Amino acid sequence: MRVETIGDATLYLGDCMEILPTLAKVDAVITDPPYGIGASAGTGKYGRQKIEATADLRWDEAVPPPSDLALVLAAGDRAVLFGGNYFELRPTRNYLIWDKGAGFKGRDFAECELAWCSWDGNARVLTYDPLARGDYREKVHPTQKPVAVMAWAIQHAGHAPVILDPYMGSGTTGVAALQLGRSFIGIEREAKYFDSACKRIEQAANQGQLFEPAAPKPQQEALL
């Protein structure tokens, strides 16, 4: 195991199933676990070429078993799990729906992604086209999320000073957390993605906070 401390981020190179039991509970787990779709992601006219050119997707051959996800959920007061439609989770109305916009319409990749939230609330939609925004010009992970999407998920979790991503990949959640002025704990078991995460998070730490943190929401009186 390797541990790097970069600004307000602590990054672990290792298996989250071994590291999570050693950590204190955090405010929010915001994460994007393997979906178990591996080489079938993006297969077809547009997708396969791109995936084969850029990716080794062996880590995505299976979804984490329910016992692993239970450990992940127990690590935070709240949790947002991207790929929520791939896992066995209790039903909820609180989904985040990332609509990938015009650039993904009719292609061999999903047109949207669903993030399952552990608390009750209304479903929300963000339309954000990473191709139009040029997000993937600097793509260092085959399933890299846009920073704006992970920032939206962090803000949806409300007042959460400490954010944990146990399936950190290239560190996108960490970049978003630092830009929002939060502390971050990340875990990744593939050294090449861990190294990319360290670089990206270091850049974000040097840049400092870009957005105002969301103020804690006042308790609303019952309407009925």
Ligand X SMILES: C[S@@+](CC[C@H](N)C(=O)[O-])C[C@H]1O[C@@H](n2cnc3c(N)ncnc32)[C@H](O)[C@@H]1O
- In the list 76, 84, 130, 169, the residue contacting ligand X (rule: CB under 6 A) is 169
Whose Cβ is closer to ligand X: residue 22's or residue 216's?
22
Whose Cβ is closer to ligand X: residue 120's or residue 133's?
133
Report, in Å, the least distance between residue 43 CB and ligand X: 17
- In the list 59, 86, 95, 128, the residue contacting ligand X (rule: CB under 6 A) is 59
Report, in Å, the least distance between residue 216 CB and ligand X: 26
The answer to whether residue 10 forms part of the interface with ligand X (CB under 6 A) is no
The answer to whether residue 172 forms part of the interface with ligand X (CB under 6 A) is yes
The answer to whether residue 110 forms part of the interface with ligand X (CB under 6 A) is no
Per CB under 6 A, the segment of 1-9, 26-34, 151-159, 202-210 that binds ligand X is 26-34
Q: Are 75 and 25 in contact (CB under 8 A)?
A: yes
Amino acid identity for residue 5 in this structure: T
The answer to whether residue 11 forms part of the interface with ligand X (CB under 6 A) is no
> What residues between 133 and 162 interact with ligand X by CB under 6 A?
141, 143-145
The answer to whether residue 86 forms part of the interface with ligand X (CB under 6 A) is no
Residue nearest to ligand X (CB): 169
Please tell me the distance from the alpha carbon of residue 157 to that of residue 82, in angstroms, as a whole number. 13
- In the list 6, 11, 28, 34, the residue contacting ligand X (rule: CB under 6 A) is 34
Please tell me the distance from the alpha carbon of residue 7 to that of residue 203, in angstroms, as a whole number. 10
Whose Cβ is closer to ligand X: residue 138's or residue 218's?
138
What string of DSSP letters covers the chain? -EEEEETTEEEEES-HHHHGGGSPPEEEEEE----S-GGGTT-STTHHHHHHHH---GGGSSPPPHHHHHHHHHTEEEEEEETGGGS-----S-EEEEE--GGGTTSSS-SEEEEEESS----EEEE--HHHHTGGGG--STTPPPHHHHHHHHHHT-S-SEEEESS-TTTHHHHHHHHTT-EEEEEES-HHHHHHHHHHHHHHHHH---SPPPPPPPPPPP--
Amino acid identity for residue 145 in this structure: K
The answer to whether residue 179 forms part of the interface with ligand X (CB under 6 A) is no
Report, in Å, the least distance between residue 37 CB and ligand X: 10
Catalog residues that contact ligand X under the rule CB under 6 A. 15-17, 32-34, 59, 141, 143-145, 167, 169-170, 172, 187-190, 193
